[in-house]
Structure 1
Amino acid sequence: MIKERGVSAAQAARDLDVHENVLRKWVRELASDPRQAFPGHGQMKPEPLEIEKLRREVAKLKAERDILNKGRGLLREGRDMRFAFIAKHRGIWPVAWLCEALDVSRSGFHAWLSRKPGQRSLEDEEIGAKVRASFIGSARTYGARRVWRDVLAEGIDGGLHRIERLMRAQALRARPRRRGLPKDDGQRSTIAPNTPDREFSADRPNQRWIADVTYVWTAEGWLYVAAVIDLFSRRVVGWSMKAEMTAQLVTDALVTDALVMAIWRRGKPDALLHHSDQGSQYASEPFQKLMADNGVACSMSRSGNVWDNAARESFFSSLKTERIRGKVYRTRNEARADVFDYIERFYNAVRRHSTIGYVSPIEFERQVGLA
């Protein structure tokens, strides 16, 4: 009407009951692109169509990246684990994208959804519940080997690799330790010889004890912790906690009280070696007199050499990794109660120790007839 008959836009708008601006827009589109002005049926012009196609491809690539990031390691697992991941995340991404990213078929996934679980899947579900219970019961500190020992203790057969797989499937990961390699440049002690010479073992109870002091930060200030460990069973036989270490009398009392508790618990020792670092509290006259009065021989690490007391470092590393790290204690009493709980309720009584065959120190002593 407008281009061929010469009707004005205003007249055509009135005749067709269409807004005049719409007609003028159609005229401009026809003039700019006579062949692709009106694709129709929801189709787009070539350039917008290409842009939209690229947008969809970018969205899909981003989704595949996110899928693989979230499901890292699933490509090494069986199809059941990949199908379980798809079922869990199909509300976030399209099933087709998930299947393509994880290299499985959509038909296989839908068949898996309708298939009843097999015997191994039922066993995995049962064992997985016990794996999680063991992990939670250890305050999320156990790795696969200790969890495996807990599962075996309940009479359930299963290999270590199966436990590792079930832990990965449930995202159960123990808190890692902060490890470092200290420089080994210590000098021989002039106070007492380094008798163990890095042989951290004992043939019988109360043959070798190791001791040290660490500290815990609270909102009220530092809480200092001293511990004495029997190398035979790795049991903490004596401990003490003090709020200060500024005065010499206080520091002497900290380590003295820990040794007194150990002697009270284990009885007066016979041919016992006490190994510590060269801290002033261990070299003090009251502490040396206490050891002499009880017939305890003194041994000390070389100056500045933590490897000479690595077993002691291992215990305090476990304490800080498994219980203290990430916590904020409002008071010293709160920290004292938590450290007590870790030592007496968990470490001595429950925690499986790799050095003594993955049993707890108390259970190990019970097995040899000591406890």
Structure 2
Amino acid sequence: MEQQKISGLQIFYVLVGFEFGTAIILGVGAGAKQDAWLAIMISMLSSLILMGVFTQLSLFYPNDTLVSMLPKIIGKYLSYPVMIIYIFHFIYSAARACRDFGELITSTILVQTPVLVVIGSFMLLIIYCLRGGVETLGRMGEMVFPIYFISMIVIWILLLSMEDFNFKNLSPVMGNGVKPILKETFPGIINFPFGESIIIMMFFPFLKNKRIIRKVGMSVILVGGLLLTLNSIFVLSVLGPEIYGKDWFPFLTATRMVSIADFLERFDALIILMMVAGVFFKVGGWTFGAVIGISQLLKLNQTKSVVLALGTIITPLSLLIATDFGEHLEIGLDYFVPYFHVPLQIIFPILLLGIAFIRKKFNFDNSST
């Protein structure tokens, strides 16, 4: 897998799909009510700085992933526990995304199917793809993302044609003040989904043209953020801020309301297909990062056995992390984001960049720039 290369466009497709993942289905920014779209926009702009940190680290160490550059920045012995923590972060995040997917599927179209069967079958697909290497994942992005994007545009047009669609649901802008918006922005949206793009550092060493690292990273944040902002505007305009904030899957709920001449209905199947595609890249991205991290930590020459092992771990872990979906969301928002995402996706990368800058400035290491 380490010898394979993918293009900047392939990484862009995979990472934008990764960024959408579960975020487009869940009510991101719901605490800001009608200003949820504004909270997403502010988070996107703030995350450009964060992506600047990720890309600069990768430019300092263009042939290293986040995991393999740690010993070069903070030393061999200090790096080991940090590498293990990041690998655990990738594995746990993959399990959380699987749980989101399983709960949506079993509560909508496969209500009689055990969630274990749904998640297990999905992980088999992920394992099959990743055993083919990063090039296979990149080609999946090229094939699936355009269909994903067109489906989203179609749904937006359908929502726009509804009688219940009303831009007045977005007013008054900042009617509750700035505080709810900032509270949703940090530590919430800036970490989920934008901060999770730290996984891009596990892909950059496989990029054919290293000179476009920053361009690819910034494009992922900008395009993903703008599409999420537009999506929240459309969903809020249909449901209003109260339903948007209380519903677990507001995008799905809004789409289910679409009815053309009482004949064309049940477009929620299109949402389910989008969810499958988005979570495929989400789980695939996290799992890929964990696979590469473990292989580099243990200095393995092949990764296929690691892919298979992680697939068997992530499936039961996704069921063990919470007893029900409500608890699952509570753990994610109240504990995982502030206590894991903030240090691992914001604080520590900034510290790493500072140390790496000093090393490069004063020639404290011999790694290539």
TM-score category of the 2 structures, normalised to the smaller one: under 0.3
TM-score by length of 2: 0.22
Structure showing the higher helix proportion among its residues: 2
Structure showing the higher strand proportion among its residues: 1
Q: Kindly indicate whether structure 1 or structure 2 has the higher relative contact order, using CA contacts under 8 Å at least 6 residues apart.
A: 2
TM-score by length of 1: 0.22
